[in-house]
Amino acid sequence: MVNTTAYTIELWMHLGGTFRRIGHRLLPAESHSNPLSIVHSNMKVHILPALSDNYMYLVVDDKTQEAAIVDPVEPKKVIDAVHKEGVKLTTVLTTHHHWDHAGGNVELAELVKGLTVCGGDDRIGALNKKVTHGDGLKVGNLDVKCLFTPCHTRGHICYIVSGQPSAVFTGDTLFVAGCGKFFEGYPSEMYKALIEVLGKLPADTNKREANEPTVPSSIGDEFKFNPFMRVHEENVKKYTGKSDPVDVMGALRQDKDKFKPKH
């Protein structure tokens, strides 16, 4: 039995040629119980608090009012938000099979008939559209692209919803200054996911907007501050006593596991 309660989804937003992230560890603690919405030019992302420290994301296409929900672990909250926003929920985007992400899929699929339930792992409840790297799908007029990022689980998928700006949902693969545990994979896979897949997304802004209650981050920031994305740097290599970046990745994860016993 794995304990994943410390991990949740994070949201990356692509704003004017830059990527920045809005994730649970960047939200003020007191905001967890309050829904928050992010407005894009072509979509809205409603951030729905779930469990004790997770978030679900309701992504709505402005043109068609069609919506997708990312990791709907609390289906009734999702239904409430769908009614409140007056949107048509058609799609579930599941990052991975862990209960705190996929645990609501079966109930939601019973409550909303005809849902397309996406994911990259047969262990995901109610799955009816298995996806893999590079697959694309539509939510109204929005284009969704799937990125296969195995390691935390062997079927983990990140989803990019393209638009102005785009949003990337990184599940339990990438956190602020960290990454998910390697439950079903190897350091080489997390290296690929962080450096070669997510790390290749457009980078970098430190710009903050006063009307946003969240602290912006960027892929560029992560390359500066996230040790798991700094595995090529000499001082990080030295810290771990390893020279190969994949070995550095493995050593960092072991080190972090040791010092976070409650996670």
Footprint on this chain of Zn ion (rule: CB under 5 A): 4, 98, 172
The residue (of 20 and 98) whose beta carbon lies closer to Zn ion is 98
Residue 256 CB, nearest approach to Zn ion (Å): 15
Please identify, using beta-carbon distances, which residue of 83 and 263 lies nearer to Zn ion: 263
Could you count the other beta carbons within 10 Å of the beta carbon of residue 14?
21
CB of 126: closest distance to Zn ion in angstroms? 18
Q: Which is nearer to Zn ion, 2 or 132 (CB)?
A: 2
Closer CB to Zn ion, 67 or 198, in the complex:
198
Handedness of CA 151, 90, 135, 49 (dihedral sign): negative
* Residue entry with tokens 């430190």: 206
**Which residue, 100 or 221, has its beta carbon nearer to Zn ion?**
100
Residue 255, H or E segment: helix 245-259
CB of 101 to Zn ion, least distance (A): 6
Q: How far, in Å, CA of 228 to CA of 207, rounded?
A: 23
Q: At 261, phi and psi to the nearest 5?
A: -60, -30
**Torsions phi, psi of 72, nearest 5?**
-80, 70
In whole angstroms, the minimum distance from the beta carbon of 197 to Zn ion comes to 17
E-strand ranges in 27-156 read 36-39, 43-50, 54-61, 66-70, 88-93, 116-119, 129-130, 136-139, 142-148
- What gap in Å lies between CA 171 and CA 157, rounded to an integer? 8
CB of 230 to Zn ion, least distance (A): 23
Cβ distance to Zn ion smaller for residue 4 or 226 = 4
Measured from the CB of residue 153, what is the shortest distance to Zn ion in angstroms? 6
Structure tokens at 201: 């997304």
